[in-house]
Structure 1
């Protein structure tokens, strides 16, 4: 049985609950601590009620100088780690029946990873690594064979699937391609029997306005804290 959150639901600690359920097959584990392989994603999953033993197990899983990211409300960080950076997130959940299939969207596979890495390096939608595609289903839009926009699935806490890595090449912005992909990815999530959710940086006013205009509901205010093992 996957663990059940006792502090505001699984969305307050999505990486931990994804690693404990749908992504358990990807998880590196020690005690109650879960970690994605670094080539998949940077996220460390700690239980809601973090103990000294959990922090000790997390430290034992990492090399000195290795960085990982916590996505959850802030918590005290022990001296075995330093805080590299912290930034605020706003979490949104999609409205019912939000998804819409897009006839031009194509499913991206391992052969597309070099192009996906190049596009995300150019547009910086968040961490995207050589095995990030293992999180879930990714869709793309092409023009004359070139990948010009993409988006896909990331964290999968029980009952939900996160929309992530939505990005558009700068030469093709202003055409609504990102919104089309958000709806197309959401359609697949609805079909899987889950609810789409996503995150925006707390200072990203453009994204926040977009999600508000699309009918998304704010569910949590949290942060990403990047920590490094001493």
Structure 2
């Protein structure tokens, strides 16, 4: 049954909202679908390479066998962020939790941004500097391999960024939306979101995104440009059973998974 909280959409590309179940477990759908070429998988559990994304996923979060497979995949005592999960089985520990929202593009006007540049591996050091300054969420050395990332430069300096992350069938997540603090208030993030959405729709997908529930400014912005709340989500940072205790937030990426998306 759908958990949708938005009204029925009009006919057109957004009509895929009649099948929101794909987004209920978006990471698993992506890792076993369009992004399967990046997946590391053991049975009913999968993850991206650890230098691409911290996401791990379970085929069925209520299936104890899937959790056993995840434990083997990540290793004893490892910390890993999971989504689409409300509780964990015995032996697992919840180290952190965060509430979020999932929003879908129901009335977003996409548009090209001719001044935007496509970013690649050569741009990663500069991207990581902007990510560290703005903290929109986790970004790793190979995250750019997940999809198209666009940036805006001024005087040669990267000042705004947006791109694609999860790609469950028929959908693409817009992520890493951020603007340098010195350049906010100019609509740069909105321009990039519209441009990324244009590319997503050109290949027949529908844009969606996630934001921390506490980030009301970003949520209001996304609503103002045509995103609608689909449902509320929960992000967990969990520790696998057994093995030595891995320090919490040892590389900052697990904590980053629970941070706010900032526009």
> Which TM class, normalised by the smaller chain length?
over 0.9
Please give the root-mean-square deviation of Cα atoms over the aligned residues, in Å. Answer: 1.5
- Report how far residue 96 of structure 1 moved: 5.0
Q: Check whether the contact 1:97–1:190 (CA below 8 A) recurs between aligned residues.
A: no
- Report how far residue 66 of structure 1 moved: 2.2
The 1:102/1:50 distance shift into structure 2, 3 A limit, reads: same
- SS of the aligned residue for 1:212 comes to helix
- Report how far residue 103 of structure 1 moved: 1.1
- SS of the aligned residue for 1:102 comes to coil
Unaligned runs of 5+ in 1: 1-6
1:1-230 equivalences under 5 Å are 9-48=21-60, 50-72=62-84, 74-95=85-106, 98-230=109-241
The 1:113/1:202 distance shift into structure 2, 3 A limit, reads: same
User: Where has structure 1 moved over 3 Å in runs of 4 or more?
Assistant: none
- Report how far residue 81 of structure 1 moved: 2.1
Q: How many pairs align?
A: 223
The 1:155/1:83 distance shift into structure 2, 3 A limit, reads: same
Cα deviation, 1:24-79, whole Å, max 9, x if unaligned, reads: 0111111121111111111111113632211111101113342221122x432123
Aligned partners of 1:104 and 1:55: how far apart in 2? 46
TM-score (norm 1): 0.93
Aligned partners of 2:80 and 2:61: how far apart in 1? 19
> 1 or 2, which has the higher strand percentage?
1
- Report how far residue 204 of structure 1 moved: 0.8
Look up the match of 1:4: none
- Report how far residue 171 of structure 1 moved: 1.0
- SS of the aligned residue for 1:87 comes to strand
